[in-house]
Amino acid sequence: MTQEAPQAGGSAASETPLPYVVYAPDDFHPDGIARARQLFRTVVALGDDGWQQWPEHAEGLMSRIRHVHGADIRRAVRLRAIAKQGVGLNSIDVAAARECGISVCNSPGINADFVAELALGLAISVARRIGEGDRRMRAGEALIATELMGHSVFGRTIGIVGMGHAGLATARIFQRALGCRVVAYSGGHSAQAGWSEVPHERCDSLEELLKQAEILSLHIPLTAKTEGSIGAKQFALLPPNAILINCARGGVVDEAALLEALRSGRLGGAGLDTLAHEPATAERYGNGLYACSNVVVCPHIGAATEDCQRISAIAVAENLALLLQGKVCPGTVP
């Protein structure tokens, strides 16, 4: 006998809750859960009784970072829609969802400015050797400025790979804040509206862009086609002392080739918000990328601000409501 779905949540007096059972088995901002409880009759959030039983009961699923596996999707006979926080969909078995007739959407554009802000911070930190200086001083070195000479980011050529929301926001902030020359390549994906507002040169190929990019900033999804697509061949085309910034997905970079390029001096440095294996550990990276003084790493914090998490969690709840009602939703996966 099928168990009754646990009852949780509530609704706002100003709205009639939609008659759906929604599960949010992930660590969402509280305001996102509050919005879901305004929108839906039943909401079971992380920590509520029975929150792990979503395959048995959920009609709608709010997803953030936990993997939504195909096996669970296939046994979720009531499930009609999945709404994902952020842009990346590699944590959801989209093929299984499509096979089962389940609608899936992400939340395009919401994280873009926050990602761009971090990309700028990483570029400056690597170029000016801020991270290295901090580590060495904390370790007891009495440094003087001439021992930590870096490079300015002002007026450099930045190559943007991926012309979606995050790529556009990154191009805009580098161009407007630091007068950088922008070259861009779509990576086979559609360019986001708004690029006409940013002075830039659009490249017809990745190779054309790489030959010019003193700073290379990646903003492409992780797919079978893009996995490991930035490797030794691509690094060899960059100008000497170029900097790599990856705020996309770690898997798009061949990390063994990246390590070799850094150690050999072919690359001037790297700012990495994403790594191929997350959460990253010292056991995996301690003798490699972590040991490179010209690398700054972060634990995938592109969207890790209070305001970004609040806005994007609310958007997940509202997008899920659109999907469940059969309405047009931004970010719907074809």
Half-sphere exposure of 159 (CA within 13 A, CB side): 25
Active site residues: 249, 278, 300
Name the E strands within 85-204: 103-105, 157-161, 181-185, 201-202
The answer to whether the CB of 20 falls within 8 A of the CB of 42 is yes
β partners of residue 184: 160, 202
Among 133, 127, 163, which Cα is nearest to 243's?
A: 127
Ranges of H-type helices in 40-111:
54-57, 70-75, 94-99
Burial class, 163, CB count within 10 angstroms (exposed 0-12 / middle 13-18 / buried 19+): buried
- CB within 8 Å of 196: residues ≥ 6 apart: none
Among 273, 302, 303, 301, which Cα is nearest to 289's?
A: 273
Cα distances (angstroms) measured from residue 54 to each of 106, 299, 325, 332: 19, 28, 20, 21
Alpha-carbon gap, residue 65 to 92, rounded angstroms: 9
Alpha-carbon gap, residue 38 to 133, rounded angstroms: 49
Residue 202 has phi, psi (to 5 degrees) of -95, 125
- Quick one: angle between helices 130-138 and 112-127, nearest 10? 60
